[in-house]
Structure formats: C-alpha cells, structure tokens
Amino acid sequence: MAPNQVDTLIVGAGVCGLWLASLLQKQSDTTLIILEKSRGVGGRMATRRFDIGSFDHGAQFYTLKKETQAFHATFGDEECLQLPMSVDGIPRYFGKGGMTTLAKALAQNLKLHLQTHVDRMVRTASGWEVHTQQGTAWTCRTLVLTCPLPQSLAILHQSQIKYDLKLNQCAYNKALVLLVEDPQCDHQLPSTPHSIMDQKAKGLTSEPGWTITLSSAFSESYFEKSDDEILSASLKEVLRFAPGLTYRKIHLKKWRYAEPKESVPELFSSPHEGLFLAGDSHGGPSINGAIRSAEALANFLRIIA
Ligand SMILES: Cc1cc2nc3c(=O)[nH]c(=O)nc-3n(C[C@H](O)[C@H](O)[C@H](O)COP(=O)(O)OP(=O)(O)OC[C@H]3O[C@@H](n4cnc5c(N)ncnc54)[C@H](O)[C@@H]3O)c2cc1C
C-alpha cells in the first residue's frame, strides 16, 4: 500500500498537538495530519461522563497568561467559563462542557485520525515515513512528536534514531485520581482550585462531584497495585480531610504520565532534521506550558519555511 503523504505529521492530539496544528494551518497552506492513539482528542485535557454529569479528570483549568491569550481568544464566552473560586486573584478558565470540549472545538477544523498508534518511523531522502500499529504508513517532510516525553523517546528508540541522552532525565510524576459521585461528609470542604475540585461548582454535574488528585508521592507508591488496593488506601487518605464521607459511586483514573517533574530547558527539541519533540515536557507542566511549546515550534517552522 502506498503511504499517505502530507507536509507535516503531528503525533498526539493533546493541547500541544492541536494548538500547533491550528497555528500551522493558519500560517500556511501546508497539508497536515494528526495521528492520535486514543478514541478521542484532548490527551490530559480529559472529561468523562457519569450519571450525574461530566467530570474533568485531568487538567481542571488553564490560567490566562501572555502565551494563552490567542488560545483563549479562539473560544467565545459561551464555550469557555471562568472558575468561580480563586485563591490568588489569577483568572482560571475551563470548557463549559468540560475541558475536552475545548480540544474538540480545536479539532473541528483539523484533519486527524483517532485510534492510530504511531510506533516507529524511518528517515527517507525527502523526510520521514511513519508507521502505525494499525498497519498504515504516512510520509511527511516535518514530523512532530507531542506525546509525554518518555513515550516520544520510546518511539525514537524503537526507530533506532539517536537523540540527546539528557532528554531521558525528564521523568514524569504519576497521578491517581478519584472521581466521587454525590459525596457527603461532616465538614464543609474548602473550595480550592487545586487537588480537589467540585465539578458541580463548574456547572458540570447536577449533584456534588469531586475530582480528587492524590499527591504524587502517594500516587507513585500505589500506582502498580490493584484497583481495589488503590481505592481502599486512597479512601483512608481522603477520610483524613473528609471525615464521615459517604458517596453514591467512586471511580479511579490512573495517569502514568501526569506532569513532567522537570522540564527540558528548550521549548522544543530537534533530534534530527525535520523531526521535533514538543509538549509540556518542554514548555512546562501545564496547559500553558504545552501551548508555549506549540507556539515556539510554530514560529520556528514559519521562519525556516
Ligand atoms: C490529573 C492531572 C491534573 C492536571 N491539572 C492541570 C490543571 O489544572 N491545569 C493545567 O494547566 N494543567 C494541568 N495538568 C497538566 C496538563 O494536563 C498537561 O500539561 C497538558 O495537557 C499536556 O498537553 P500535551 O499536549 O503536551 O500532552 P498530552 O495531553 O499528554 O497529549 C499527548 C497525546 O499524545 C497521544 N499519544 C501518546 N503516544 C502516542 C502514539 N504512540 N501515537 C499516537 N498518539 C500518541 C496521547 O494519547 C495524547 O493524546 C494536569 C494533568 C493531570 C494528569
């Protein structure tokens, strides 16, 4: 089968890949495609639906900073709402139907293939040939990997492509996340935009719905245990700040690559001509960081075009 051909191929439909593709599409008439291994877009901007409504179970919000202005401006006030609670006066924003709705809105005008897992690439005379686990192949001049860095490096390793070994030092924190439907407890919990978020306060659920992100130390020690063990140990932790907790249902979400412990100093890297690595591993451990990385790479590609 002849490989499909595009100018630019982006691996990963998280916020970095989606925003990079939107910028490149705006700034030139390049042909591009995003290949994403999951069933949906958004990566760690993730939302799940339960009986009482939608729970964001990855990123809860982004802060409005210089680098997020253009990203923020692409969504109207209807699509993007400001978080009602603030501990420091910094405005924080989320998608009205959950964080994934922002990713879906960006993806609307982009060409992408879901459930397409890239596993290796080969250097050719004019660029790259990219192969997927599904048996498809693509050729491109420019190839960008936006997966969490250890996953991007595994693809390079598998493809026998050399890279700066310092990149191996970018390790990620794990995160265990509990999604609690209709929690009730003896104390009124402080409403903070950090490790516990009531999805009802965001207007996403009809009843209280907590997303609780356990500490990275706890997540690291329990990550490989069975779901039952994780749930029982997590509940013990939660009961410390929510005595007498009862709930209708509880769900567990595990993120092996939640956030980089330390970012790579450059906003993107290029292990080989026409091959780039980007994402929060480079820009910093947040949606802002992933956007910062995408913006820097888009500028660079515009300059060298
Ligand atoms: C629990 C949690 C809470 C967080 N809270 C916040 C918050 O409140 N505010 C904030 O700003 N940030 C938060 N973050 C961090 C934020 O979500 C990330 O920094 C940001 O979303 C990273 O975007 P990205 O595009 O770089 O990577 P990702 O979102 O990880 O996107 C990478 C994509 O690549 C895909 N992929 C991987 N391998 C392959 C392959 N081989 N082939 C094809 N596709 C592949 C993945 O499926 C994924 O969709 C949180 C993260 C977690 C896990």
Instruction: List domains and CATH numbers for the chain.
Output: 4-170+261-304 (3.50.50.60), 173-258 (3.90.660.10)
Q: Is 60 in the pocket of ligand 1 (CB under 6 A)?
A: yes
With beta carbons less than 8 A apart as the criterion, state whether 176 and 224 touch. no
Q: Is 245 helix (H, G, I), strand (E, B) or coil?
A: coil
Average confidence (pLDDT) over 219-244? 93
Q: Is 25 in the pocket of ligand 1 (CB under 6 A)?
A: no
| Whether residue 194 has pLDDT greater than 80 | no
List % helix, strand, coil for the chain (3-state, nearest 5).
30, 30, 40
59 φ, ψ (degrees, to nearest 5): -60, 140
Q: Is 148 in the pocket of ligand 1 (CB under 6 A)?
A: yes
164 φ, ψ (degrees, to nearest 5): -65, 120
The Å distance, Cα 174 to ligand 1 centre, comes to 12
Q: Is 100 in the pocket of ligand 1 (CB under 6 A)?
A: no
- The count of residues in the chain is 305
With beta carbons less than 8 A apart as the criterion, state whether 3 and 135 touch. no
How does pLDDT run across 164-191, given as a tens digit for each residue? 999 999 999 999 999 999 998 877 665 5
Question: What is the DSSP code string of 1-66?
Answer: -PPEE-SEEEE--BHHHHHHHHHHHHHS---EEEE-SSSSSBTTS-EEEETTEEEE-S---EE--G
The Å distance, Cα 58 to ligand 1 centre, comes to 8
pTM score, whole prediction: 0.96
With beta carbons less than 8 A apart as the criterion, state whether 7 and 21 touch. no
In the structure encoding, which two tokens stand for residue 247, read together?
A: 């709930």
The Å distance, Cα 246 to ligand 1 centre, comes to 31
| Whether residue 193 has pLDDT greater than 50 | no
Q: Running DSSP on this structure, what letter comes out for residue 107?
A: H
The Å distance, Cα 287 to ligand 1 centre, comes to 8
Q: Is 12 in the pocket of ligand 1 (CB under 6 A)?
A: yes
Q: Taking the alpha carbons of 139, 144, 149, 153 in that order, is the dihedral positive or negative?
A: positive
- Name which of 186, 189, 188, 196 is nearest 244 in CA terms: 186
Identify the weakest region by mean pLDDT among 48-57, 135-144, 218-227, 230-239.
230-239
Q: Taking the alpha carbons of 287, 290, 293, 296 in that order, is the dihedral positive or negative?
A: negative
Q: Is 105 helix (H, G, I), strand (E, B) or coil?
A: helix
Q: Is 15 in the pocket of ligand 1 (CB under 6 A)?
A: yes
Q: Taking the alpha carbons of 104, 105, 110, 111 in that order, is the dihedral positive or negative?
A: positive
How does pLDDT run across 133-166, given as a tens digit for each residue? 999 999 999 999 999 999 999 999 999 999 999 9
How does pLDDT run across 74-124, given as a tens digit for each residue? 998 889 999 876 667 788 999 999 999 999 999 999 999 999 999 999 999
Q: Is 211 in the pocket of ligand 1 (CB under 6 A)?
A: no
The Å distance, Cα 182 to ligand 1 centre, comes to 27
In the structure encoding, which two tokens stand for residue 281, read together?
A: 């591993």
The Å distance, Cα 279 to ligand 1 centre, comes to 8
Q: Please, which residues have CB within 8 angstroms of residue 50's CB and are 6 or more apart in sequence?
A: 179, 181, 205, 209, 249, 251
Residues facing 34 on adjacent strands:
10, 112
